[in-house]
Amino acid sequence: MKEFFDDYVQTVFGENAQAAFKFRQFERNYRRFFPARTDAPLLDIGIGRGEMLSSMKNWGFTNYRGVDISPSTVAFCSSLGLPCERVEDTVAWLREHPGSFDMITLLDVLEHVPKAGTIPFLTALRGALAPGGTLIVQVPNMQAPDSQLHRYNDFTHEAGFTENSLRQVLLTAGFSAVSLHGFEDSVAQTLREKVRLMLRPLYWRLVRLTRKLNGNLSPAILHPVFYAVAASGDTATAEEP
C-alpha cells in the first residue's frame, strides 16, 4: 500500500487545500471532549490535510503535534506551519512516547489498519496516553444505510466497524471507558440542510423498521460516520447515540 500513501493528498483528496467545513464539524463533534488546559499535550495521528491540527491551534492549544506515514500529507501540513512529522512505524513511535499525551485523535485511520495489527495499534495508543487521557477514534459506520459507499470509497481501507465491533477492539486493547457517538456532519443553516435534518429521522425510522421485519440487528447509530471516546480507566462502559 506504500505507493498509495506516498501521494495520498493528491490521489484521495484531489487538491492541496483544507476543507473549511471540517473545522465546523470538529467544533460541533469534538471540542467538548478536549482538555480544559490549553497547554495539555495533544497528538493527531493520520493528519490528512491538517484540519484537526488547525482546529487544535484555533482552539488555543499550544502543545500539539501530528504524525503520519504519508510524505505527501506531512509535506502539505508542514507547508501550513503545522507541527508534524513522518513516521515509518506508528506503533514503534507510540511505544517510544509512553504516557506522553492527554488526548490522541485518530480520525479515519483505524479502518486502514489490517486486522492483525488492530489490537497492537490500539494497545500502543493506550500506552502513549497519560493517566486519565482520552482517545477519540472516528471510523465509517458499517451499520449505517449504504455503508458500502464509505467502506469501499478508499482502496486502502482494510476493515469496517459497527458499534459492537469498535467497542470490542477498544475493550480488548485495555480501554475501560467507551462512549459511542454519531458524527454530525450537518453544520450549515441553509433551508436545504434544515429540510434534510427534518426528513432524516423519518428515513432512519424506516430503516429500523425494515431491519426489524427482517430479524436483523438494529444498532442505535445510523450516521454514515461515527466515533468512540475512550479512556484508560476503571469506569464502566456507556453508550450515547
Tens of pLDDT, residues 76-103? 999 999 999 999 999 999 999 999 999 9
Domains of the chain in start order, with CATH, are 2-186+221-231 (3.40.50.150)
pLDDT at 81: 97
Q: State yes or no: pLDDT of 57 exceeds 90.
A: yes
Task: Tell me the average pLDDT of the chain.
Answer: 89
What does the alpha-carbon distance between residue 46 and residue 213 come to, in Å, rounded to a whole number? 40
* DSSP summary character for residue 11: I
Least confident of 18-22, 84-88, 191-195: 191-195
What does the alpha-carbon distance between residue 150 and residue 111 come to, in Å, rounded to a whole number? 10
Choose among 104, 103, 55, 50: nearest CA to 81: 50
Read off the pTM: 0.88
What value does the mean pLDDT take over residues 226-232?
A: 93
Choose among 220, 108, 98, 122: nearest CA to 162: 220
Residue pair 149/225 in contact by the 8 Å Cβ criterion:
no
pLDDT at 168: 96
Reported confidence tier of residue 21, pLDDT bands at 50, 70, 90: very high
